[in-house]
Amino acid sequence: VFHGRILARRLVGQETRYEVEVKAPYRHRFPLVSREYLWVPNTCGCPPLREGGEYLLMARRHVNHEHTLNRILLQDDGYARPWTPREARLVREAARSC
């Protein structure tokens, strides 16, 4: 889970790749750098993430069987919600309760 700002969007094959500025990582099992690529396995732009928008994103690290592909994937069961100050408060409260 992290707070990110969408910098760019690009269609790559059957996927959409977003360049994301990581504003704040929250709960994460893998390290994040200041800029990451977030992959969505479709080209419809679902969820609709707009360039310049800030979101609370819950994605997972995807590594293929050959270990040649290592990326952040936002699947259908992932979470992408517009960022608000309320989101910051909820994330802080959730982190304290863990």
pLDDT of residue 28: 67
> Residue ranges of the domains in the chain?
2-96
pLDDT of residue 42: 82
pLDDT of residue 85: 75
Please tell me what DSSP assigns to residue 29: S
Cβ neighbours for 87, distance < 8 A, ≥ 6 positions apart: 3, 56, 81
Q: Going residue by residue through the chain, which has 98 residues, state the pLDDT in tens, using 9 for 90 and above.
A: 889 999 999 999 988 999 999 998 887 677 888 999 999 988 676 778 999 999 999 888 887 777 666 789 998 778 898 988 776 676 666 656 65
- Answer whether 0.85 is exceeded by the pTM: no
- Residue 95 CA to residue 33 CA, distance in Å, equals 20
User: What CATH number is given for 2-96 in this structure?
Assistant: 2.40.50.120
pLDDT of residue 4: 94
pLDDT of residue 92: 65
